[in-house]
């Protein structure tokens, strides 16, 4: 069991998808895209590693964000190893080292197993910056290894697996060998729809949106699935933005989501989307529970 943790937008979900060779965790350029814990199962000839992709660790007073951080922190408990990932293109300067060091120590203190530090996005920096960057992070915590990687390009990914195999205990397989995740198709469909909202809308819309699958009906004879989903927004003024002129934006979201869902589940998908306003849902504890927090 290996937890993937780190600040928002460090590339944790991209790394998980790259390691598995299939997209199961949604990815956008916007921080705090991942809201729930996603399980990814990597099967090798003589190993099975269960990864937990987690929301980004950050400071926040909002209820939704606090729940996201709690999910990430809880994921540190009972692990066999931790991959702590940071964005190498945002270097740890001497000026912000004390503040970041103090913030990261809150996270590191929860770790009771071997931890590897991954310096991601090294394809975006001058390679001469790598060694100083390693030195700056090595001073913060006794990592078992510090590894420069590019999750997007797959650079350093085989070395991560090799390093993990040196620290992980032997044990049983938790999942069948053909499993990639324990997430339901229903959950993954909602995540894909939310990803398209993140990618195709701007300003505050992504962070004010949530997706709930109302029905997921399978038709084995036609090898198809009919999905009814609701996109929740916080304010009435956001609704026309997501719908777009003549419904163009909502149609664009639906087409993009349907294509990815079909690729994921291998069946024809009929996707119907609705929009509802749920004022201040990010602060509504009951509604957050309905969303799985």
pLDDT of residue 58: 66
131 in the same domain as 29: yes
Asked whether residue 9 is marked as a ligand-binding residue, the answer is: yes
- Tell whether 80 is covered by a domain: yes
Mean pLDDT check: name the lowest of 48-62, 72-86, 251-265: 48-62
Asked whether residue 96 is marked as a ligand-binding residue, the answer is: no
Give the C-alpha separation, 215 to 181, whole Å: 21
120 in the same domain as 196: no
> Who's near 41: CB < 8 A, 6+ residues apart?
20, 48, 49, 50, 51, 174, 175, 179, 180, 181, 182
282 vs 76, residue with greater confidence: 282
For residues 281 and 274, the answer to whether their CB atoms sit within 8 Å is no
148 in the same domain as 280: no
For residues 293 and 71, the answer to whether their CB atoms sit within 8 Å is yes
Asked whether residue 169 is marked as a ligand-binding residue, the answer is: no
CA distances from 97 to 56, 143, 164 (A): 19, 17, 27
pLDDT of residue 82: 94
Domain count, the chain: 2
Please report which confidence band the pLDDT of residue 166 belongs to, taking 50, 70 and 90 as the band edges. very high
Asked whether residue 94 is marked as a ligand-binding residue, the answer is: no
Last residue of some domain: 141, 167, 193? 167
Mean pLDDT check: name the lowest of 94-103, 234-243, 264-273: 94-103
Last residue of some domain: 137, 167, 197? 167
Asked whether residue 36 is marked as a ligand-binding residue, the answer is: no
Mean pLDDT of 123-128: 86
Asked whether residue 56 is marked as a ligand-binding residue, the answer is: yes
221 in the same domain as 149: no
271 in the same domain as 132: no
143 in the same domain as 19: yes
Which CATH number is 143's domain given? 3.40.50.300
pLDDT of residue 131: 87
- Tell whether 176 is covered by a domain: no
Last residue of some domain: 167, 195, 216? 167
147 in the same domain as 33: yes
143 in the same domain as 78: yes
Average pLDDT, the chain: 89
60 in the same domain as 138: yes
Domain containing residue 59: 2-167
Which CATH number is 248's domain given? 3.30.300.20
Asked whether residue 26 is marked as a ligand-binding residue, the answer is: no
pLDDT of residue 198: 93
Asked whether residue 240 is marked as a ligand-binding residue, the answer is: no
Asked whether residue 11 is marked as a ligand-binding residue, the answer is: yes
Asked whether residue 31 is marked as a ligand-binding residue, the answer is: no
Asked whether residue 282 is marked as a ligand-binding residue, the answer is: no
Asked whether residue 7 is marked as a ligand-binding residue, the answer is: yes
Q: Which of 2, 4, 11 is nearest to 154 (CA)?
A: 11
pLDDT of residue 92: 67
Asked whether residue 148 is marked as a ligand-binding residue, the answer is: no
Asked whether residue 57 is marked as a ligand-binding residue, the answer is: yes
Asked whether residue 54 is marked as a ligand-binding residue, the answer is: yes
Asked whether residue 183 is marked as a ligand-binding residue, the answer is: no
Mean pLDDT of 261-275: 95
Q: What is the pLDDT of residues 211-245, one digit of tens each?
A: 999 999 999 999 999 999 999 999 999 999 999 99
Q: Are strands 115-120 and 81-87 parallel, antiparallel or unpaired?
A: parallel
146 in the same domain as 16: yes
Structure tokens at 53: 């992709």
pLDDT of residue 96: 65
């Amino acid at each position: 069991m290996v937890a993937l943790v780190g600040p928002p937008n460090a590339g944790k979900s991209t790394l998980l998808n790259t390691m598995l060779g299939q997209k199961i965790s949604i990815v956008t350029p916007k921080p705090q895209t991942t809201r729930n814990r996603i399980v990814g199962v990597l099967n090798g000839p003589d190993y099975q590693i269960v990864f937990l992709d987690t929301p980004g660790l950050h400071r926040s007073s909002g209820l939704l964000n606090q729940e996201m951080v709690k999910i990430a922190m809880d994921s540190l408990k009972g692990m066999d190893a931790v991959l702590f990932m940071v964005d190498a293109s945002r270097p740890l300067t001497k000026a912000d080292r004390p503040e970041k060091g103090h913030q990261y120590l809150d996270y590191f203190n929860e770790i009771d197993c071997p931890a590897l530090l991954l310096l991601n996005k090294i394809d975006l920096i001058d390679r001469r910056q790598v060694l100083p960057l390693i030195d700056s992070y090595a001073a913060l915590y006794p990592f078992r290894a510090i590894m420069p990687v590019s999750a997007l390009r797959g650079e350093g990914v085989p070395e991560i697996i090799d390093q993990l195999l040196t620290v992980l205990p032997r044990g049983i397989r938790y999942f069948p060998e053909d499993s990639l995740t324990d997430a339901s198709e229903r959950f993954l469909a909602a995540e894909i729809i939310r990803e398209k909202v993140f990618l195709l809308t701007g300003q505050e819309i992504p962070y004010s949106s949530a997706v709930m699958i109302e029905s997921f009906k399978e038709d084995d004879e036609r090898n198809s699935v009919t999905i009814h989903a609701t996109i929740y927004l916080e304010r009435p003024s956001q609704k026309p933005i997501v719908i777009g002129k003549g419904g163009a934006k909502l149609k664009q979201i639906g087409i993009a989501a349907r294509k990815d869902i079909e690729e994921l589940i291998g069946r024809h998908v009929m996707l119907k989307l609705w929009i509802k306003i749920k004022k201040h849902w990010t602060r509504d504890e009951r509604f957050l529970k309905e969303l799985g927090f």
